[in-house]
Chain A
Amino acid sequence: MVDRSAIGRNFTPVTAHVEPGRLRYFCDTIGENNPIYRDAQAARAEGYAAIPVPPTYLFCLEMMDAENPFEFLTELDIDLARVLHGEQGFTYHVPAVVGDTLTFRSRVTDVTEKKGGAMTLIAVVTDVTRQDGVHLAGMTRTVVVRNPKAAST
């Protein structure tokens, strides 16, 4: 079971590309029809260098381009079937746009047990930087692990 010794653990940085086709597929899937997310001209008219990404798409980019998207779970020996997403947050500094290459660096910042050990909450912080070194955004997430019941004696 994961414990507080995991705090401070870093994971392999992920480099991801903001590709127009994948972004369009994401927009199609969620029914996103705002022209700034679909039309480069509309995006430029709003002051973007290219089509920007919707607010949650950074989370997807990290998973899509990770060699092992569940590295965090395998490294901490957590069963994927026992995991739920507890919280997710984004802090935006600069918009990510089509053509950007982004690097995601994640680390565990907290591990807490809840409900007498029935659940473990793991907090992970991710820094997102652009190809030119600009700190583009930050992400925070809390993962909930439903722990197996201890064998009764």
Chain B
Amino acid sequence: MTQTASRSVGDRVVHKTFPPITRHTLALYCGASGDHNPIHVDLDFAKKAGFPDVFSHGMLVMAYLGQALTDAVRPKDIRTFSTRFAAITQLGARLTCEGHVTELIEYDSEPCMKIALVAKDEAGEAKLLGEAIVAR
């Protein structure tokens, strides 16, 4: 697996693409995550709530972003991982997750790097904007 090598500010360390999000993915994620909010699988419920269709769990997209991150750095080196859900991720979205080193910092007296993360759909629209602090 990838070791956390020395990195510099500006390096793109995270990059991974994911298959389109299908209704099946969302149904499976309901069971896998314990998040049974019907808005993600029940079209009638979603429409009644004012949405044109069901849409992805934000946490499914964050799981993809986390996967892109743990492909790039040692999971045990991750100190924090946070995201803002900037836009709803629609059915069929093909996500690309990326991360750049933005800063080399000390965190809890440990040398770390800050990585800015983004999950974008195929049109380039940012769905999640995040940050991770990772030991270096």
Contacts and interface: CB of A to CB of B under 8 A. Distances in A.
- The CB with the most chain A CB atoms within 10 A, among B32, B80, B82, is that of B32
Interface in A67-84: 69-70, 80-84
User: Chain B at the A interface: mostly helix, strand, loop or mixed?
Assistant: helix
A34 B31 contact: no
A25 B31 contact: yes
A85 B58 contact: yes
B84 interface: yes
Interface stretch (A58-66, A110-118, A126-134): A58-66
B25 A88 contact: no
Nearest to A32: B67
A101 interface: no
15 contacts: A29-B32, A31-B18, A35-B1, A46-B1, A54-B75, A56-B62, A56-B66, A57-B63, A59-B33, A62-B34, A63-B33, A65-B34, A84-B85, A89-B80, A89-B82
A53 to B, nearest CB: 9
Given A56-B66, A81-B45, A84-B85, 13 more contacts: A30-B29, A30-B63, A31-B18, A34-B1, A55-B69, A59-B33, A60-B33, A66-B34, A69-B35, A70-B37, A80-B39, A81-B39, A95-B76
Give chain A's interface residue range (CB within 8 Å of chain B).
35 or more
Given A30-B64, A34-B71, A54-B66, A140 B82 contact: yes
B83 interface: yes
Interface in B83-122: 83-85, 88
